[in-house]
Structure formats: structure tokens, C-alpha cells
Chain A
Amino acid sequence: MLHTLSPLFERFAERHFAVEPRRRRRLTYSELAHASAALAERLIACGIRPGDRVLLVSGNSLEFVVSYFAVLRLHAVAVPLGPDEEANRIHDVIVDAQPRLALIADDARPYLVDVPTMPVDLDALASAAVAHLPEVPFAADEPIALLYTSGTTGRPKGAALRWGHFIENIMDYGHDLDVGPTTRFIVSMPMWHIDGWTYSTLQPLLFGASVTIAPLFDAHVAATFDQLLEPDHRNVLIAVPAMLSALIAIRGRRPSGGGQALNYVICGSSRLAPELQGQFERLFDTIVLQNYGSTEALLVAYYTRQIPYREGSVGRIPAKCRVRILPDGQIGVAGAYVFDGYFQDPARTGLAFEDGWYLIGDIGTVDADGYLYLHGRRNDMINKAGIKFDPVEIDEIIESHPAVVESATLGIDNERQSQDIVSFVQVCQPAADLERFVKERLPQVQWPTRIVVMDNLPRNLLGKVIKSQLRQMLTNIVASEAV
């Protein structure tokens, strides 16, 4: 097991670690080592000590990478947040994590009022003198990040990622994928979530690989995707199915000029339709390797080039991960990679496990050879292009409107390999301002695509809303609109 970072920085010294093409900036391993040490010293000067939480507020950028390693080298705990988070969520995270300081990248809006902030200026760090930063080995149970996921009771919960299980997971996966010095990860997913964070920091570092940091995936990234591919490298795109669908759509606009090879795609977060996978592989002359996991469980199943594809399966369960299908069909996960709890939250940690098995939230089956198959979410969880949340979070906001009796929100699969959010709302009086009311209180990713106002929601004898009937009603509405 790896215990220190310096040998890696030194061994790969002059190789590129990270490039940010849009800003024409790049960092070698040596430059990253220097900048992160300089920033770590500034943090020490501000009184930050091992175990303290530090917010990282940044979009996808080199500043994020430097900030992350600075905090790690101090043995402090990074709490990454995106640059456009809602004020309520920031407040909740701050209350929960009690950070001592926030590191702010250039592009992050200065919206933090409750915590002292420090800007991250790469030029200043590059020219700063660095004294010798003492190297203390990492302990296996030491937390290295708190990643906040949305919680069903409104309050976000911080999954504590610990050095030992995280390093073991990415070391095993990296070996199986044959990651090496010529591997170039392409990250366009949010770096403050598990995938973007992993592939822009520790996963490349362990193998002397590098990362291309693209802005959050959008039409411009899709249209200029070929420019992200690095010559003479094994380019690996980190994706979710909705990104593959968008890349196919954009590629159809005009003939492509060939260009650099895309070695393979790592695609996670939801089941990938075999048709979409095949279409992408043909169009981009590449192979898509699915994986499946979560912030809490890390990787539960995956493919590599050596693991033969089985239609419908999200991948094979690795040797150190144990999966048990519980009597109600839920997937329970145990083994070397699984987290051991939410930050200072024994109550919700207790709810996350059953008899020592972590409940990942999906229904599934395992075949005789250890391939895992998904058969839907346990609790109607919405998955919007990889961002997962409980519809209850939306219903709670809608139901706080004085005219609303009850709300039932569903995720409906759309043609973009993502989901539309549809809220069926029972009102007791007209609510003309409902849409505005909801949008003012929810992050954009949770805005309903449509709100269907009704006098009564369909209910069973116990008064519980029948969601299957709502789905059918919506199908009928959409069909009538298409005529």
C-alpha cells in the first residue's frame, strides 16, 4: 500500500500531470509538487492542521488539482463544492463539515460568507519559495475527502473517503485497466463529484498518467471534442451515457476529419443501452468500458478490455468487492472498498447499512460468473445525466407552497439518455406562481421539466399516490401532444 506522495512526484517529475486546453495551461508533476507545497505552507500559516476540513470551491480547473493536493499533503480533509451551488446547499455543507477555510479558484463566485477564504493564484504559487514540507505517511483510516451527496431528508450528507480503501480501489482498477504513463484521462464531468475528482487527482498520480481538464460537458465541449485528444497518448474519456448520446448527435452535424484516437471510454452512473454503446463504438472507433459504483461503495463492478462483454450487465464484480442480493432484491455491498460512514452522522450511517452490507440503492442480480445486472432503483431515485437525487427533495419544496396539497415527482427517461423531471401537483387553490416559486428554491438540475397541476392525484386505498398510474397518464399526455 502506498503511504506517501513525494516519490510519485519525483519519479514522474517532468511529465505532464494536467492540462487545461481552454486556458492553454499545463502542469508537470514537478510543478504540481511545488505549487501544492507552496499552497500547503500558506494553509499552515493560516492555522490549518491535519484533520481540519477545507472547502475547495472551483469549476473544472488546474486550481482545483493544486488545491486538492495541497490539502492532502497537509493531511487536512478536502470538501469540494462546485462554483454555482445554491446558497442553501452551501450553508448546509458548511454547518455539517465545519470547514476552517475555503480555497477559491478564479472562476468561482465569491459567494461564501460564513468561512474565511483564500484565493488560489497559480502564477503566485509557481514563483513562491517553498521550505521543506514534512512528509507524514498516510494512515489507512485517515479521511482524505468529504464528498457531499444529496440526502433524502433535505440535508446533504458527507461520505468520508478514507486513504486505505480509496487507494486500494483505484490501484486495483488502474492495474486491471492497464493505466500507465501514456494514459490521458479526459475529464469533463464535475470535479467536485466522485468521478471527476478521482480521475483528475489520485488515479492519474498513482500511475504516472495525466489528465486533460475540460469545462463541464456542454455543446461546445462536444463540438470541439477532437481537440481534447492528445497525440501519442492513450486517450480515455470519463463519461456518462448522456454524454455519449450528445457526442453522437453532434458528430452527425458534419463529417469528422479523423484525428487522434480515443483509446477507450469509461462510462458509469447508469445502465448503458447496448444500442447506444454499439453506435458510439462504431462512430468513434473505440470501446466503451462500463463501470458501476457510487461515492460510498466506490467500484462494485466494471469491464476492462480483458473482461468479455455480456449484454445487460454493468460489469464483473472485482475480487475484493463482495456483493449480496438481499431478500428484497436490493444490492448489498461489502469488502475492501466500501466506506464506513457519513461524516459525524451515525444515524444516517446506520440507515445506509443492513447487517454490515451497504445498500447502494439499486435492485440487481448476479450471474454464476460474477457479472452484475441492474433492474431499477429501490426508491424511484432520479438520475439526471449522472447527478442522482431523491424526488422527495423536489416534492418537499413544492409542498412548501401554500396552495399545494401534495406533490409526486417522477424521473422520466428522455431521448438524451438522461431523465426529465415531471411533478404532478395537487392544489387546493390556483397557484400561478408555482413554477417561479420552485425555481427560486431548487438548484437548476432539480427544476421540473414540467409541472402537471391536478385537482386530485391517483391514490390507492391507503391514500398513497400511485406512481405507475402517473407514468401512464404522462405517456397519454405526450402521445396526445404528438398528434
Chain B
Amino acid sequence: MKTIEEEVASVLATICHRDRVSLLDELVRDLGVDSLSFVQLVVALEQRTGVSFDDEDLMLSMYPTVADLARYLARRANPSEATS
């Protein structure tokens, strides 16, 4: 089974037409994510991971990098194990 980081990278690779996506990639600058592809990304990530975003957290600007997005989903999946 894929880790959340791997799921995020794989979904982004599909949506942004990339061969590979690194955790350090910036969503907007490196991958060209915009407000509309972010909607598609959110829906796909929720389906693939079973973890849902809080509506108030649906701001692209909250996730500068791929790692930030993965960290958010990991925390939502398992709030008690949240780390800084």
C-alpha cells in the first residue's frame, strides 16, 4: 500500500502531466497547479486516501510544497500522531 506521500505525488503527477513529482516541488511555481486544478486535486486525493479536507483548509496558498500537502493529509488521517 502506498504512503500518503506517495499518493500525493502520484495524483499530482497525473493531474500536472509530470513524469515524477518530488516532495520539495512547489505546487504553483514548479507544478503549475492553479485554482481549478486544485479542485480536481482535492477531490482525487480525498478519493484515493479516504481522508477529507476541512472546507476552511481548501486554500491552495496553504500548501506551498508537495510535502506540505502530504503533511496536512497525514495529520487529518491521524490527529493524535500529529507532529510539528
Contact = CB atoms under 8 A, between A and B. Distances in A.
A242 B46 CA distance: 20
Interface stretch (A23-31, A347-355, A413-421): A413-421
B43 A242 contact: no
B64 interface: no
A250 interface: yes
Nearest to A251: B43
B35 A218 contact: yes
Interface string A210-252: 0000001111101110000000000000000010001001101
A168 B29 CA distance: 43
A217 B58 CA distance: 12
Contact of A418 (B36, B42, B52, B59): B36
Contacts of A246: 36, 39-40
B28 interface: yes
Interface SS of B by simple majority: helix
B32 A249 contact: no
B56 interface: yes
Contact of B40 (A223, A224, A416, A481): A416
A220 B56 contact: yes
Given A219-B42, A219-B59, A439-B29, A416 B36 contact: yes
Nearest to B55: A223
Interface in A427-463: 439, 444-445, 447-450
A132 interface: no
A282 interface: no
A242 B36 contact: yes
A385 B36 contact: yes
Interface in B20-56: 28-29, 32, 34-40, 42-43, 46, 52, 55-56
B34 A217 contact: no
A464 interface: no
A179 B52 CA distance: 39
B34 A250 contact: no
B17 A450 contact: yes
A385 B59 CA distance: 19
B43 to A, nearest CB: 5
Contacts, number: 60
B74 interface: no
Interface residues of B, number: 21
Contacts of A481: 17
A175 interface: no
A345 B56 CA distance: 46
Given A220-B58, A223-B58, A250 B39 contact: yes
Contacts of B11: none
A31 B72 CA distance: 43
B16 interface: yes
B60 interface: yes
Contact of A449 (B32, B40, B42, B59): B32
A321 to B, nearest CB: 31
Contacts of A224: 55
Interface string A358-389: 00000000000000000000000000010000
A220 B28 contact: no
Contacts of A217: 35
A420 B28 CA distance: 14
The residue among B32, B36, B43 with the most chain A CB atoms within 10 A of its own CB is: B36
Interface string A245-275: 0100110111000000000000000000000
10 nearest A-B pairs in the assembled complex, by CB-CB distance: A219-B58, A218-B35, A220-B58, A246-B39, A223-B55, A219-B39, A249-B43, A416-B36, A450-B17, A223-B58
Given A217-B35, A447-B32, 17 more contacts: A218-B58, A218-B59, A218-B60, A219-B38, A220-B55, A222-B39, A223-B55, A223-B58, A246-B39, A249-B39, A253-B46, A253-B52, A254-B52, A385-B36, A416-B36, A416-B37, A418-B36
Interface of A: 216-220, 222-224, 242, 246, 249-250, 252-254, 385, 415-416, 418, 420, 439, 444-445, 447-450, 478, 481
Interface of B: 16-17, 28-29, 32, 34-40, 42-43, 46, 52, 55-56, 58-60
